[in-house]
Structure 1
């Protein structure tokens, strides 16, 4: 129990270290299993539609996760349910050759903050409410070894003069 508490505290610090973060959301899975039909829906608000934003995937997996990668389907919608962007991306969680885990680890758990390639420069059309959906697109159902999934929206880093 102490180990789980320590891991949770470290994860909060890891995911909380981004000062450019506009929104961040994570959901935990019971029994470290993510079912194919278990689409995760996240609601958020954008206060400034004049800026470009970057989206990162946040994922926590166990060392026992049986694949080196995960395919995620994502959908970005406005408040009326209109699809603004959608697609599928492959996230690499382990080195393909060595099997060494990527991400930041503590014990047998690994936290990943991976830039979403298709959401690198997102311009939201207006201020207001939006939703972001994530669904795993792997063959096993349920997919074991995934502890949590989420995303964060960031402002781009300002360049020094």
Structure 2
């Protein structure tokens, strides 16, 4: 009985303390078809956030049906008039190139990989869009794209 009680208490404390208080904003947009089309841009509105000197991460939720080891993504930062103020191509590794094991955290056959966006958002940035840049019309195995802004 003491082992069960101890296990429950340990589980509750680990759940409580594992919650991350380091994020200012986090959101995901699902790709309902499970295939990211080259013409689909995924956008996030950041109007009310204080973005000065914040670290920004992109999140790619993928499964084992994804057939490449990485994903090239164009990151576009825009102001309130949709004028492009940043436009950068990033390479997000999703699988280890030697072992073929998925990078990131997950369970089952779905994983989420976070990677740093190489430019800092600023007070002018009101919207961030992501476009896949893999020279494929459809990227099977991409389930969602997200953004996380740290405090």
* TM-score normalized with structure 2 length: 0.81
Q: Distance in 2 between matches of 1:24 and 1:154?
A: 9
- The one-character-per-residue Cα deviations of 1:106-153 (angstroms, maximum 9, x if unpaired) are 01111112122x22xx25145xx7000000011221110000001111
| Structure-2 residue corresponding to 1:70 | 71
Which of 102, 122, 125 does residue 124 from structure 1 map onto? 122
Structure 1 runs of 4+ with >2 Å offset: 45-49
Q: 1:44 aligns with which of 38, 43, 46?
A: 46
Aligned pairs, number: 135
Whether 1:148 aligns to 2:144 is: yes
Partner of 1:28: 30
Contact persistence 2:56–2:121 (CA under 8 A): no
Deviation by residue 1:45-95 (Cα, 9 ceiling, x = unmatched): 34436x411110111101121000000001111112222211100000000
- Once residues 82 and 23 of structure 2 are traced to their aligned partners in structure 1, the CA distance between those partners, rounded to angstroms, is 24
CA RMSD of aligned residues (A): 2.0
Alpha-carbon offset, residue 21 of structure 1: 1.4
Change (3 A) 1:123 1:96: closer
Unaligned regions of 5+ residues in structure 2, if any? Answer: 1-14
> TM-score, normalization: structure 1?
0.76
Greater C-alpha radius of gyration: 2
How many angstroms apart in 2 are the aligned matches of 1:26 and 1:71? 18
State how far apart, in whole Å, the 2-side matches of 1:123 and 1:150 are. 16
Corresponding residue for 2:58?
A: 57
- Please tell me whether residue 110 in structure 1 is matched to residue 111 in structure 2: yes
In structure 1, runs of 5+ residues without a counterpart are 1-12, 156-161
